[in-house]
Structure 1
């Protein structure tokens, strides 16, 4: 018999998980993200290469694909990006449509990046708002 307590948790679907995760922070719209970046926030594009090639890039955004995100933004990590200077860094995460970015925010907040948020609607909303995109 094991000494560890058993957890009986019912499975959670992705919609419920997103709802729970998003309840922990305030998301921003594309124009708010643009203004935050202009004020010094780090805009991070986590879309994979094929989407960036197809749809373009947000000028000035740091590109870090999702599978490397925590390693590159952890201020204490050996593999951090030069921009990952502090746990107080304001980070705005952008994915394609605003779903994966919410899960990424939850993970980054667990690392202590408490000023991290994401863009409602992701890159597609950014582009639809007429904000800068380069090929």
Structure 2
């Protein structure tokens, strides 16, 4: 039986809180692109994976999408470590800035769709 993609029950309450306090960029990406299978795949919001909570996660694609706000400008090492741990768990992480999502959503969408298309080849 599958391990439920390394779901961490201890982070469940925190993940729930994060869903209710999402950033504008996270809400926009969710509503306009990732909800209701608009990409052809099901994504979950604020999903615990190992020791982290992914902004968005697709189990089927083993894909994590992160929307990084201003504070991530100072967390390069932490983000690299996080991506390395998630990769060891079998996930690919795509990162976008809040600004990219808010000002250039069509390009963010193209990037995600192109990644999915490469995976399907």
Please confirm whether the aligned pair reaches a TM-score higher than 0.5, indicating the same fold. no
Q: Which has the higher contact order (CA 8 A, sep 6+)?
A: 1
> TM-score normalised to the size of structure 1?
0.34
> TM-score normalised to the size of structure 2?
0.37
Higher helix proportion: 2
Higher strand proportion: 2
